[in-house]
Amino acid sequence: RVNCLGGVSPLIIKDAEEKLNLHFPPEYNKFLQECGTLNIADSYIYGLYSNYDNLCTAGSIIYETLKCRKEYKLPNEYIVLENLDDEVLYILLTTYKEDKNNGQIYSIEINYDDNTLTSPNLIYNSFNEYVEDFIQQWFSWRNLQLSLN
């Protein structure tokens, strides 16, 4: 089941942008307003909550991004969208200016030996492409499970 946990107000989005010192791309901004955050089973696309403190709540882009900036020196132009088994992060490129790369999604691996990150690897050209694939992968996996039973 796909769960959108509720959209957030433009004021909450503006506060998040100020705390992270960046500007969200339009597709992600719309996702936050309409959905807030998204989960399917135990897979999450990080976002914002209207009923919790986004600065200290796991799953909030503010919390997850600031944590990765501090622990792994995540560059400031990225926000964390998803953490896969504490090994790989999916990150969203954000810029203040109109840029053809603004809104692209990258994967980046965590190197626990020295708490660094590998170079970002482009995996999706847009946030919408990422969300569509996120949902499709889950349903494909679920259908495979059902056919094996």
Dump pLDDT digits (tens) for 79-132. Answer: 999 999 889 999 999 976 556 567 899 999 999 999 999 999 999 999 999 999
* Banded pLDDT at 5 (limits 50, 70, 90): confident
Helix axes 26-34, 127-148, angle to 10 degrees: 60
Q: Which residues of 61-88 are buried (b: 16+ CB within 10 A; e: fewer)?
A: bbbbbbebbeebebeebbbbbbbeeeeb
Largest CA distance in the chain: 51
Cα(86)–Cα(72) distance, rounded to whole angstroms? Answer: 12
If 0-12 CB within 10 Å is exposed, 13-18 middle and 19+ buried, where does residue 28 land?
Answer: buried
Mean of the per-residue pLDDT values of the chain: 88
**pTM value?**
0.87
pLDDT at site 36: 95
* Banded pLDDT at 65 (limits 50, 70, 90): very high
